[in-house]
Structure 1
């Protein structure tokens, strides 16, 4: 609350100054910062749902009876809700090695990733991506995308409801969201969430290590045509795999 009040005070101060000087761009910049900072989690989830609809429209989505969908459904059958968050899963039928999760609980897994990972490794990677959602990293990335986008005044003043955005506005948010990268600390915390998720549900935590090792090998093989954001925004897979192995040995889960 204190942070919001400080932002409001800064906005009011900039507003008076810019009106006096005729610098409307400063007012607009302050308004965008204010709007993004004061969005509720529910509003961010609504924006994320609109962004995912746009992503789904731009990518071939596996049908309900497609073998990839059937495999994914089997893998996640116990995990339709994770940490109290309802999750909806879909497969993109593209060869890229990638997966992502957004603040509304949408998880999208790419065919290229499914082709190289075992079931347990896929679950480990999805656990990592869901960890970004549970840890609010995805929420903050969407707010950052809003600040960088051309969207204006998306939050209704009193109702707390976000209006339907145009496709160009949603496209700007999508570009901004997927152009963002998480910090090293956020990546480590998402790794830890996946590790704990696997351990809590009786899976082998070593699946997280072997998934990182496969990504490191793929990256080392210079197959850049297949490797997308899952490597470019998730650095140093080899050392992260070793970190998982070290923790597993300490926990008595590996030799």
Structure 2
């Protein structure tokens, strides 16, 4: 079975690029017109997001309930399933890509390879960031764009004022487009702020947000992978984001120097 693209979306991390890219061609004009005509509600975003994540769940290996990855994630985030008025659900994809994403329906998916290099504090910061994207409705914008592209690609009428039902092929295309999208730098910055506030409010170590971005900065150094370079070019600079966290932590009296940040050579289990 051909893998779907697990693209860089929320974090600014590595995504697989071995699936066939979707070519928009002349559909772009249709998408543009459709985006103006379409009345896209939160309910639409939730419905389409659930369809997309259901597709992704079927096409990726998911850690079982007794898997150490699942046990670790539940330990960290079990009490945050109703975070900030949101109804969230978490799963781990056992894949080699380093990423995490959230959907408008409250689905949060964390990749096992991300968990391998992040401490608990860093994972708390990462998923706090993902929750921020859901709370700020950034994911609504992303799924709307993905829906329009998927529908237009299959010659469906995206100029309709309401959301149409997609067939299986279109749902797959929508999932790919959704994961290959990127948020604006402003949205990323706002999600970073949400993550910091989430950490602070729950009395977690906010320095975890700093070290998480430092690790992402290390991952970006010297990369020759075109997809990797493209991703980091489209996201705010990880080092600058780390320094912004440090500055705020110092102001709040919460800064504790973590020392030199390095990428672990063995999987982190706790």
Q: Give the TM-score range, shorter chain.
A: 0.7 to 0.9
Q: C-alpha separation between the residues in 2 aligned to 1:243 and 1:88?
A: 29
SS of 1:75's partner is helix
Q: TM-score, normalised by structure 2?
A: 0.75
Output aligned runs, 1:95-174, within 5 Å.
95-150=96-151, 152=156, 165-174=166-175
SS of 1:83's partner is helix
Q: CA RMSD for the aligned pairs?
A: 2.9
Name the counterpart of 1:79: 80
Q: TM-score, normalised by structure 1?
A: 0.79
SS of 1:254's partner is coil
Q: C-alpha separation between the residues in 2 aligned to 1:126 and 1:230?
A: 19
Q: C-alpha separation between the residues in 1 aligned to 2:230 and 2:98?
A: 8
* Pair 1:209-2:210 in alignment: yes
Tell me, which stretches of 5 or more residues in structure 2 are unaligned? 1-26, 257-270
Flag the structure with larger Rg: 1
Higher relative contact order (CA 8 A, sep 6+): 2
CA contact (8 A) 2:125 2:195 kept: yes
Name the counterpart of 2:48: 47
1:30 deviates by: 7.0
Length, aligned pairs only: 227
Q: C-alpha separation between the residues in 1 aligned to 2:29 and 2:229?
A: 37
Name the counterpart of 2:34: 32
CA contact (8 A) 1:90 1:109 kept: yes
1:53/1:232 CA distance change after superposition, 3 Å:
farther
CA contact (8 A) 1:137 1:186 kept: yes
1:198/1:145 CA distance change after superposition, 3 Å:
same
Name the counterpart of 1:248: 249
Q: C-alpha separation between the residues in 1 aligned to 2:67 and 2:230?
A: 25
SS of 2:97's partner is coil
Larger deviation, residues 177-186 vs 44-53: 177-186
- Offset from partner CA, 1:182-202 (integer Å, 9 cap, x none): 111111000000000000111
CA contact (8 A) 1:206 1:244 kept: yes
1:224 deviates by: 5.2
1:45 deviates by: 0.5
Larger deviation, residues 116-125 vs 162-171: 162-171
> Would you tell me which structure has more helix in proportion to its own residues?
1
CA contact (8 A) 1:98 1:227 kept: no
- Offset from partner CA, 1:154-208 (integer Å, 9 cap, x none): 8998xx8x66532111112112212221111111000000000000111111110
CA contact (8 A) 2:151 2:158 kept: no
Q: C-alpha separation between the residues in 2 aligned to 1:193 and 1:92?
A: 24
